[in-house]
């Protein structure tokens, strides 16, 4: 049944495009997104820990041994749930789109369908197909419906949107080009009989090949996960995108990259993470290189977020910082670190969605400015208290206070880091502190600014019902996982012991 998450998304896209009225398109999109979430929840309800669910496995291109192989394990299911939540919230927060509404929701649902497809594909070729299907809608969503940086208007705003959209599309495509090269090489090296993950894992590539392909594929996917220094598409893309698209970009699209790192690069080429046998600048393996880049990303993203004047860029850079934890967790190669990484994917997806919803929909659509210095005098805490409260809660979740999902995720990543790269924990700690600082700064500047003399009381439109519902959905998700993390860890941990991940369970694995 899980496969229907993909099909209904594409069917929903078609229905939304053909809808005669705007309202109908919105309703169709909402129903489609809710149905996707519902299917995920039903699957969760019937899930047996450690289960591997084959959904479909039929020959697709028999001449090349490529099969249409959809399946789910605990990690897939976690991310399918995240996609359902983010998609539903995204529709709710884009209820007010008036420009080319039908097309907007059609592209939105195509993107969602592609994302579901990636998380459920257990054939490398199929995964890549879905991965690329998700690229093109992103471009159009940003280029057509996006918003510009502060101060830009008219012609300028248009070109900024297009710049951001093109940058994002090219980064994604360049990343996927690396993956394509790695994929072709893996197919040839495995004898060209099958592209299914089980067959590729069983092919036991030579250590030398894995050493070459691992960085290629890992970097290819990590571009989309916002790994420093390939992250620059993320802040501009997030800031320029319409609210729902930023929510999806940060919420699920960046997870595509992280998921690809884990599912393809690490699972298929585990020996690529072994030591090289020599050290350059103190680094002795690809694992250490990428862990270092991840920590740099954590600190760098947070530091840059600290000095932004544009509210959306603050959140954009915070995403880079938080995704650093995902990559760091993956590179620890410990059970707890990997568990934390997957949990952080979920957690960041929900929290970043919430933050972007507050900034893009609740604040920007009402005030038409994202400049923190201009927002301050507006006394938003009084004008739209719901937005302020939501942002406070989301900020608390974002800096990793206990009780929210971010805490349990980052905590596990840090434990894993302690076991694998003890000194990096100090750097990551600095990143967390700076994270608290920029969240606090954004909060006070945007919502609790000093009322300047003579400032008029801004009469802002009240918060609408869809916004409230969307915010509650996301808050409920982060709190549920924060208070009862077993709901997801029971999915993730047994999966890490499945035969597919056998190659990872060695060395520091505990």
End-to-end CA distance of the chain: 35
Closer residue to other proteins (CB): 186 or 305: 186
Q: Using CB under 8 A, pick the residue from 21, 23, 41, 192 that binds other proteins.
A: 192
Nearest residue to 357 via CA among 379, 386, 327, 331: 386
Applying CB under 8 A, does 157 fall inside the site for other proteins?
no
As measured in angstroms, the least distance from the Cβ of 117 to other proteins is 10
Task: Pick from 166, 392, 437, 460 the residue near other proteins by CB under 8 A.
Answer: 166
CA distance 484 to 2: 24
Quick one: 180 or 203, whose CB is closer to other proteins?
180
Encoded tokens for 165 = 């959209």
Q: Which of 11, 27, 31, 180 binds other proteins (CB under 8 A)?
A: 180
171-179, 334-342, 353-361, 488-496 -> range binding other proteins (CB under 8 A): 171-179
Residues 130-149 that bind other proteins (CB under 8 A): 132-133, 135-136, 139-140, 143-144
Name the one range near other proteins by CB under 8 A: 61-69, 336-344, 354-362, 378-386.
Answer: 61-69
**Is residue 217 classed exposed, middle or buried when 0-12, 13-18 and 19+ CB atoms within 10 A define those classes?**
buried
What secondary structure letter does DSSP report for 73? -
Residue 326's nearest CA partner among 254, 430, 243 is 254
- What is the gyration radius of the CA atoms in the chain, in angstroms? 22
Residue 125 binds other proteins (CB under 8 A): yes
CB of 166 to other proteins, least distance (A): 6
CB of 36 to other proteins, least distance (A): 20
Closest to 98 (Cα-Cα) out of 152, 157, 25, 164: 25
Contact between residue 414 and residue 428 where contact means Cβ atoms under 8 Å apart: yes
56 near other proteins, rule: CB under 8 A: no
* Per CB under 8 A, 118 contacts other proteins: no
3-state SS of 400-429 is CCCCCHHHHHHHHHHHHHHHHCCCHHHHHH
CA distances from 403 to 319, 387, 393, 407 (A): 20, 20, 11, 7
**Would you count residue 63 as binding other proteins (CB under 8 A)?**
yes
98 near other proteins, rule: CB under 8 A: no
Q: Which window, 183-191, 284-292, 305-313, 345-353, contacts other proteins (CB under 8 A)?
A: 183-191
Q: Per rule CB under 8 A, is residue 188 in the interface with other proteins?
A: yes
Is residue 3 within the footprint of other proteins (CB under 8 A)? Answer: no
Show Cβ contacts of residue 226 under 8 Å, excluding neighbours closer than 6 positions: 234, 254, 257, 297, 301, 319, 320, 323, 324
Nearer to other proteins, 100 or 309 (CB): 100
CB of 187 to other proteins, least distance (A): 6
Q: Which residues bind other proteins (CB under 8 A)?
A: 60-64, 125, 128-129, 132-133, 135-136, 139-140, 143-144, 158, 162, 166, 169-170, 173-174, 176-178, 180-181, 183-185, 187-189, 192
């Amino acid at each position: 049944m899980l496969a229907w998450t993909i099909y209904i998304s594409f069917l929903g896209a078609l229905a939304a495009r053909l809808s005669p009225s705007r309202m109908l398109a919105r309703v169709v999109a909402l129903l489609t997104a809710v149905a996707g979430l519902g299917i995920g929840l039903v699957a969760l309800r019937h899930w047996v820990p450690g289960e591997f669910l084959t959904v479909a496995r039929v020959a697709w291109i028999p001449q090349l041994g490529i099969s249409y192989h959809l399946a789910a394990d605990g990690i897939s299911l976690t991310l399918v749930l995240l996609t359902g939540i983010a998609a539903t919230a995204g529709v709710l927060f884009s209820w007010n789109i008036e420009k080319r509404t039908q097309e907007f929701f059609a592209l939105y649902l195509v993107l969602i369908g592609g994302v579901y497809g990636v998380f459920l594909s257990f054939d490398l070729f199929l995964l890549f197909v879905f991965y690329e299907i998700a690229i093109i809608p992103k471009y159009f969503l940003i280029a057509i419906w996006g918003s510009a940086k502060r101060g830009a208007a008219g012609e300028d705003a248009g070109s900024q949107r297009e710049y951001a959209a093109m940058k994002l599309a090219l980064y994604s495509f360049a990343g996927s080009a690396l993956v394509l090269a790695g994929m072709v090489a893996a197919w040839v090296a495995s004898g060209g009989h099958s592209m299914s993950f089980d067959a590729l894992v069983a092919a036991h590539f030579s250590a030398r090949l894995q050493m070459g392909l691992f960085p290629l594929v890992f970097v290819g996917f990590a571009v989309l996960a916002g790994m420093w220094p390939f992250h620059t598409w993320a802040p501009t893309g997030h800031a320029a995108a319409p609210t729902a698209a930023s929510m999806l970009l940060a919420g699920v699209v960046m997870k595509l990259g992280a998921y690809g790192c884990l599912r393809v690069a690490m699972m298929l080429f585990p020996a690529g993470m072994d030591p090289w046998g020599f050290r350059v600048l103190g680094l002795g393996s690809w694992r250490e290189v990428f862990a270092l880049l991840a920590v740099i990303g954590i600190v760098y993203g947070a530091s840059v977020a600290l000095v932004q004047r544009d509210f959306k860029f603050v959140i954009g850079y915070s995403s880079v910082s938080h995704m650093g934890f995902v990559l760091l967790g993956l590179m620890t190669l410990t059970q707890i670190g990997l568990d934390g990484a997957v949990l952080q994917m979920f957690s960041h997806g929900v929290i970043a969605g919430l933050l972007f919803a507050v900034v893009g929909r609740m604040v920007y659509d009402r005030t038409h400015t994202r400049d923190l210095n201009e927002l301050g005098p507006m006394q938003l805490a009084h004008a739209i208290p719901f937005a302020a409260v939501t942002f406070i809660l989301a900020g608390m979740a974002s800096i990793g206070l206990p009780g929210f999902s971010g805490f349990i995720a980052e905590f596990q990543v840090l434990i894993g880091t302690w076991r694998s790269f003890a000194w990096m924990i100090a750097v990551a700690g600095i990143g967390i502190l700076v994270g608290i600082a920029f969240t606090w700064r954004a909060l006070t500047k945007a919502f609790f600014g000093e009322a300047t003399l003579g400032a008029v009381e801004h009469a802002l439109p009240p918060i609408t019902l869809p916004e409230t519902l969307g915010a509650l959905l996301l808050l409920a998700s982060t709190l549920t996982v924060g208070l009862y993390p077993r709901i997801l860890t029971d999915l993730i941990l047994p999966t890490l012991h499945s035969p597919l991940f056998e190659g990872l369970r060695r060395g520091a694995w505990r």
